[in-house]
Amino acid sequence: MQSLQGTQRDMRGLTDRIKLTLKVSPSTATGDEKEWQVDQNITVSEELEFLLNDYSLVANPRDNDRGMIRPRMDAILFGQLGKVKKAHQSDGGYEPLCAPSNPLWICQQNFTLDVVSDDIAGMQDMEGPIEAAVTYALKHGERAGIDLNLVVLRKDTPGLEGESEEVLAAMTAIHRARKAAWAVTELYGLHTDSYDWRFFHVNDCGQYSRLSLSWSTDRQKIIGLLWKIMDQAVILAGSSGR
């Protein structure tokens, strides 16, 4: 079992192995593509703004924001899922207690990715499956490793470096499992320190793209994307619950 930890050379090799199972789509720097379009009516709530401002008042400046990463991320992700579920409740289209059709965050998920790459030059020393761990996964049904449409990896220090290999590996493993189960294979991934947000999207054809956003300048877009993804989870949950 090979963990996604190691030297820069190792990480480049692992990234190449992961990409063997996904076609690289064109750059999505503008965020105008369909998968990145959001409802402009979805905005950051005053409650969330007040809460994050309160966090900043009690943070130790010497921590360089490190101490606020986890509570900020949890407030945003958990609060947003609650709002989406309440919106469906008010529309009469969602029964929150009807398991398994109840979208929930599950913590500390591990995924194993078998990558066939024997014919790739210079990678013979990187045999065996890759193990990837994520902080949260958004489930919308009972099938483990399949009924998930978002995986989230928290970075506990400010700044996102590298290519977020662990997120890509987890997404690839889920994509494979869903394809084998004849399930909808579209899904999203997220790597964040609660200040910088790097979103990933894998479509039904296995192509992936990414979009990098900053909370300081793009918070409405971030909230809009989270709403879109979570709304999709509620809809999928309703389908699996019938």
The residues spanned by each domain of the chain are: 2-240
Q: Which pLDDT value is given to residue 155?
A: 94
Q: Which pLDDT value is given to residue 15?
A: 62
Burial of 240 (0-12, 13-18, 19+ CB in 10 A): middle
Q: Which pLDDT value is given to residue 8?
A: 41
The span from the CA of 71 to the CA of 27, in Å, is: 32
pLDDT tens digit string along 162-172? 778 889 889 98
- Decide if 160 contacts 176 (C-beta within 8 A): no
Amino acid at 49: E
Contacts of 98 (CB under 8 A, 6+ apart): 241
Farthest-apart Cα atoms in the chain, separation: 57
- Decide if 73 contacts 42 (C-beta within 8 A): no
Three-state helix/strand/coil letters over 83-144: HHHHHHHHCCCCCCCCCCCCCEEEEEEEEEECCCCCCCCCCCCCCCCEEEEEEEEEECCCCC
The span from the CA of 107 to the CA of 41, in Å, is: 30
- In sequence order, the β-bridge partners of residue 188 are 150, 201
* R_g of the chain, CA atoms, integer Å: 18
| Beta carbons within 10 angstroms of residue 72's beta carbon | 22
**Per-residue confidence in pLDDT tens, the chain, 242 aa:** 344 444 343 445 556 655 555 554 444 545 668 889 999 999 999 999 999 988 888 876 666 577 889 999 999 999 999 999 988 877 665 565 555 568 999 999 998 877 655 434 444 445 567 788 999 999 998 888 899 999 999 999 988 887 788 898 899 889 888 988 888 889 999 999 999 999 999 888 888 888 999 999 999 999 999 999 999 999 888 776 54
